[in-house]
Amino acid sequence: MDTTEITQNTIELTPKQEKFAQKMLNPLKFKLFTMTQVPLGFIAGMKLKTLEASKCSTTLPYKFLNKNPFKSTYFAAQSMAAELSTAALGMLHLSEHMKTIAFIIVDMEAKFVKKATAKVTFTCIEGDKVKKAIEDAYATGESVEVKMLTEGKMPDGTVVSRFYFTWSFKKRSRK
């Protein structure tokens, strides 16, 4: 599996995007967000740690509710936290276009490398790909797909899983 890191471009956030990132990174506001929009994420203890133009990190604790019978973190719980690390980048870059661009997952691939027996941090560093896809979708009116990698690691640096989420961005037609 290719683990080559993507070079991060310097992307400037608009004031609206900065405000969105600050809101999502506020622990209380994020808990309210998960309670109302992603209740299973709230129950699982999912947290948003970093939200920058090119990078997003989420965490998932190793706890009773997230475990499987094999004494590791359940794959579906990992999938949820991994997806958030890519979706939050989409939401951040869409905060300028939220009313005019729709986005949805169209594909997902996962590779589980090791047992997750501690807190897992998922990191996606492909915000530049999302920004470009949104700009292209807005400019052309066509659907644009972007495949994003997020990698899950335990605190000791052990990679436990890699996920690829393919997001589709499309400009909404006005009626």
pLDDT digits over 106-163, tens only?
999 999 999 999 999 999 999 999 999 999 998 888 999 999 999 999 999 999 999 9
Q: Are 45 and 77 in contact (CB under 8 A)?
A: no
CA distance 11 to 22: 17
Tokens of 154: 């335990």
Mean local confidence (pLDDT), 33-37: 93
Residue 112 bridge partners (DSSP)? 161
Decide if pLDDT at 171 tops 50.
yes
Q: Is the pLDDT of residue 45 over 70?
A: yes
Q: Is the dihedral of CA 76, 77, 79, 83 positive or negative?
A: positive
H-type helices in the chain, by residue range? 15-25, 27-37, 39-44, 75-94, 127-140
Measured in degrees and rounded to the nearest 5, phi and psi for residue 126 equal -115, 35
Is the pLDDT assigned to residue 41 strictly greater than 70? yes
Summarize pLDDT for 89-105 with one digit per residue, the tens: 999 999 877 668 889 99
Q: Could you tell me the two tokens for 172?
A: 């909404």
Task: Return the CATH fold of 15-171.
Answer: Thiol Ester Dehydrase; Chain A (3.10.129)
Q: What is the pLDDT of residue 5?
A: 39
Q: Give me the mean pLDDT over the 15-44 stretch.
A: 93
